[in-house]
Amino acid sequence: MTLIKSISGIRGTIGGKTGDNLTPLDTVKFAAAYGTWLKKESGKKKLKVVVGRDARISGRMIQDLTMNTLTGLGIDVIDLGLSTTPTVEIAVPLENADGGIILTASHNPKQWNALKLLNSKGEFLDGEAGAEILKIAESEGFEFSEVDDLGEISTIEDYIDRHIEEVLKLKLVDADKVAKANLKVAVDAVNSTGGIAIPALLKKMGVEVIELYCDPNGHFPHNPEPLKEHLTDICELVKKEKADFGIVVDPDVDRLAFIDEKGEMFGEEYTLVACADYVLSKTPGNTVSNLSSSRALRDITKRHNGNYEASAVGEVNVVQLMKDNKAIIGGEGNGGIIYPESHYGRDSLVGTALFLTHLAEKGKKVSEIRNEYPAYFMSKNKIQLTPDLDVDGVLKAVEKRHSEEEISTVDGVKIDFPENWVHLRKSNTEPIIRIYTEAKSQQEADDLAQKMIREIESIIA
């Protein structure tokens, strides 16, 4: 059982001992730390925080603990109930709130839950704010409100519907064009809140929906990370129902993957590529993804005469570089679409609506659209190290060995070779180096990864 405290929030397994897992006491302590930081940061006498959750079995318990802790600090709470991460993100500025909390462990299995923290813009906190909240939590320097100053909880039950309306208002989303295309789409929402949001969006756009695991009961029927090995059921369903394609989301609906009409993976990396291709064709501009994302986005951006930049891994880093680079679309290769015209957060509803419009406009099959993009293949590996090893020293040695290549040290070491790349990152929680490679064939990507593992082993020896 595990409790992981980081600058982006607190994540852990339900049950067990306090301090080792996400117990009720740990939930209260961290919610109190966030509320205390928010009061200090805003300087306002009365604050308002939006709170929503995915459909995890522990969600109601964790949400009640969180909301009542905030009201104990004198903070008013808007309860969205069953929601999605992007829904909470758009609700914060729409409700003029001072912050937001999403109760979700994203793609982790059902025994996990987490508190994800937002600022007044509905964006994830930066490292400095996260570190301050961790410090407050450790010191337990909380001061709760007296009885006449307690906060109040109000409920808004239709925010997913409001979110859908916001998506349909986007200039590059054309529901009429999609409706005329007479599309049939299968949806796997892993029995979480995507089962509410995605079918509702599709129906609003005139799409026939085939639902698979769309009952938001929190009992995930398969590993909730939207990877090929977990998605055999929807791949079969798409073929059986002769659907135009399939949509898969993770439990909090910020990761989006597609299945083509043949029941084959479109590729999580290519979700962003396809959406960016459509957006750039209408509104030329710049793009951003992280250093571990596919080179295909760079190629598509250049094709549209835009500028591509790569950030350190982590949504907050992608968002900051998007702002700095004035990017019109960006995200992460795990199927996370960030479209600033809507908001600065990964949003599967926005990604779905953009892709549907792209598909309807192209008048092609999903597999045909995929074949229009550069073909790259990734390999993801790791090498175990001893705890006493100087990992930074190892990465420095790798950097020195390849000093003649194009190198980035923004986040670990990324080496861009002419035909492929390798990205080495050390873990913050265990003694390993993660090794990501990409090349023009799977064999080449795997071979490059093994070559880098041997090189690291020779440095350590």
- Just list the catalytic residues: 106
Q: Residue 117 is encoded by which pair of tokens? A: 């923290």
Calculate the alpha carbon distances from 459 to 69, 241, 323, 333, 450 in Å.
50, 53, 38, 30, 14
Which amino acid type is present at position 103? L
Q: How many CB atoms lie within 10 A of CB 431?
A: 14
At 212, is the secondary structure helix, strand, or coil?
strand
- What's the 3-state SS for 433-453? EEEEEEECCHHHHHHHHHHHH
At 86, is the secondary structure helix, strand, or coil?
helix
Provide the 8-state DSSP code for 215.
-
Q: Residue 359 is encoded by which pair of tokens? A: 């598909």
**Residue positions counted in the chain:** 461
Which residue bears the tokens 């409920």?
155
Closest alpha carbon to 291 in 252, 320, 317: 317
Calculate the alpha carbon distances from 115 to 3, 66, 104, 120, 236 in Å.
12, 9, 6, 16, 35
Exposure of 141 by Cβ count < 10 A (0-12 exposed, 13-18 middle, 19+ buried)? Answer: exposed
Q: What angle do CA 391, 394, 397 make, to 5 degrees?
A: 155
Exposure of 186 by Cβ count < 10 A (0-12 exposed, 13-18 middle, 19+ buried)? Answer: buried
Q: How many CB atoms lie within 10 A of CB 402?
A: 16
Q: Residue 336 is encoded by which pair of tokens? A: 């996370």
Which residue bears the tokens 């795997």?
446
- Beta strand 286-290 with 245-249 is unpaired
Which residue bears the tokens 């979110």?
163
